[in-house]
Structure 1
Amino acid sequence: MTVSESPELSESEYQARVEKNLATLQKDLPTLFAEDISYDIYTPDIYFNDPVNTFKYKFNYRIIFWTLRFHAQLFFREIYFDVHNIRQAAKDVIKVDWTVRGTLRVPWQAKVFFNGNSTYKMNEEGLIYEHLDTWDRKPQEILKQFLPTKRQKS
């Protein structure tokens, strides 16, 4: 069955799917560096964009989350994804405000910290078809946090 052939959801069915999406994101996001997320709330052709990545399709979406977990465990002593606010901003939009913070596995124990927000757009079936992330600083500025400061070198 194609999307155009799929039956229309009633308002209550659609809102129930939105509530499921909100609950799933609330459960998944805080542990995304340690555990895999649920993929059943996304369309097969999910589009993702952040300051360093742009791609489409659920296979690639799964890879980005696997990569985040792999690098988090490899390069960080500790890393957290703090969810500050998750809300339905419009009928077809979910917004999430968050912070990434952690300590690198380097002798000077560099800290990483940046804030961001995610916008998830949903189709008429209540599935997420687009995930857009914005960060409060440029990727180069975040990477500078990894370098030792003069005080840390001595």
Structure 2
Amino acid sequence: MQTFSTDHILHTLEQELPFLFQKDLTYEIYSPGIIFQDPINRFQGQQAYRLIFWALRFHRRLFFTHLTFNVHHIRPSDANILVATWTLEGSLRLPWHPKIHFTGSSTYTIHQGLITTHTDIWDTKPQVILAQLFKPALKQEK
């Protein structure tokens, strides 16, 4: 199994994360036993990790007229940890055109040249994010 330097992993994340809703990731930098966790999910294994990102891209096309994942920065917090901060925002394909917007961070732990854990922290509680789906977007004046 190939392993990678932290700099290579950082560069790969910088190139791929902004487009995670448009195209697939390079999974060679992830451990076969990667653990993913966010406020509502926990999965283990590269196959489950691939499925998560496939589902994100599928749901983007199905439910959103627009969805962006703005990566503010990705920085090392120590020799084996990278932290990305980001904002997710979009417009849903519903008659009342609700908007979704929240910020968070992703922490990637690297062990023996591969990402072994990916933990997302959302700055907004999941129930508050869900409530955004029921709030009509403000109409712009003509």
So what's the TM-score if we normalise by structure 1? 0.85
- Residue 151 of structure 1 and its aligned partner are, at CA, apart by 6.5
Q: 2:51 aligns with which of 63, 66, 72?
A: 63
Q: Give 1:84's aligned residue.
A: 72
Q: Which residue of 2 aligns with 1:96?
A: 84
Q: Paired residue for 1:143, among 130, 134, 139?
A: 130
User: Does 2:41 align with 1:47?
Assistant: no
User: Comparing both structures, which one devotes a greater share of its residues to strand?
Assistant: 2
Taking structure 2 as the reference length, the TM-score comes to 0.92
Residues 36 and 17 of structure 1, relative CA distance in 2, 3 Å threshold:
same
The answer to whether the 8 A contact 1:92-1:126 is kept is no
Residues in 2 aligned to 1:126 and 1:94: alpha-carbon distance in whole angstroms:
13
CA deviation after TM superposition for structure 1 residue 148, in Å = 3.1
Q: Which structure 2 residue ranges, 5 or more long, are not aligned?
A: none
Gaps of 5+ in 1: 2-13
Deviations 1:61-83 (A, max 9, x none): 00000000000110000000000
> In the alignment, which of 99, 105, 108 is matched to residue 117 of structure 1?
105
Question: Percentage identity across aligned positions?
Answer: 45
Corresponding residue for residue 106 of structure 1: 94
Task: Return the match for 1:21 from 5, 9, 23.
Answer: 9
* Deviation readout 1:88-122 (Å, 9 max, x if unpaired): 11000000000100000012211100000000001
